[in-house]
Amino acid sequence: MKSLYLIGFMGSGKTSIAERLHQKLGWEVEDTDQLIEEWYQTTIPTIFKEKGELVFRQYETTVLLKTTRKNTIISTGGGIIEKESNREWLKEQGNVVFLSASWEEINQRLIHDQNRPIWNNQDRDKKKLLADRLPLYREIADIVVETDGKTEHEIAEEIMNRLFV
């Protein structure tokens, strides 16, 4: 079967839902941030610090195109939808699941986060970034799952029911 791509803003639960789906489907999980760190042998914060966001976005596209197309759950970075070419590519793959969380929920989840350069950049208006990105997530999503107030189990079940039944 075609792979399943999880998209959504930072802190929307992509990594934990990927793990849940792995338990249910038995498919391997790939994570674009992890692939970047493995492929380029460095960390995401270091890339942002030393090379900047533009280079990070190039790396992100490179690894996105290397993701496995079949029987794999792929968790993507929150900004993957910023590039039109990434959106086009994801749309072609299909099985794109948008995990939609509210600003309040995202804030709660990321309150202690120190690993996300954009989230931790005080000069960035993250609330506006979420609002700007929302239509882009929606544009390429095959299904949109509202995650507020739902358990990981419920979210994973909803994805399975809507995609595979």
Residues near ligand S3P (CB under 6 A): 10, 14, 33, 44, 77-79, 116-118
> Taking each helix axis from N to C terminus, what angle separates 152-164 and 14-25, rounded to the nearest 10 degrees?
60
Cβ proximity to ligand S3P, 44 vs 145, nearer residue = 44
- Residue 165: CB minimum distance to ligand S3P, A: 28
Nearest Cα to 155, choosing from 37, 34, 17, 39? Answer: 17
Output the smallest distance, CB 133 to ligand S3P, in A: 8
Q: Which is nearer to ligand S3P, 114 or 165 (CB)?
A: 114
d(CA 72, CA 81): 19
Residue with tokens 């005080």: 122
Closest CA to 81 of 132, 22, 28: 132
Shortest distance in whole angstroms from residue 121 CB to ligand S3P:
10
Q: How far is the CB of 44 from ligand S3P (least distance, A)?
A: 5
Give the residue with the Cβ less far from ligand S3P, 106 or 156.
106
Give whichever of 45 and 164 is closer to ligand S3P, judged by the CB atom.
Answer: 45
Least distance CB 64 / ligand S3P (angstroms): 11
| Closest CB to ligand S3P among residues 135, 165 | 135
**Cα distance between residue 125 and residue 122, in whole Å:** 8
User: CB under 8 Å to 106, separation ≥6 — which residues?
Assistant: 9, 10, 11, 12, 130
Confirm if 13 and 109 have CB atoms less than 8 A apart: yes
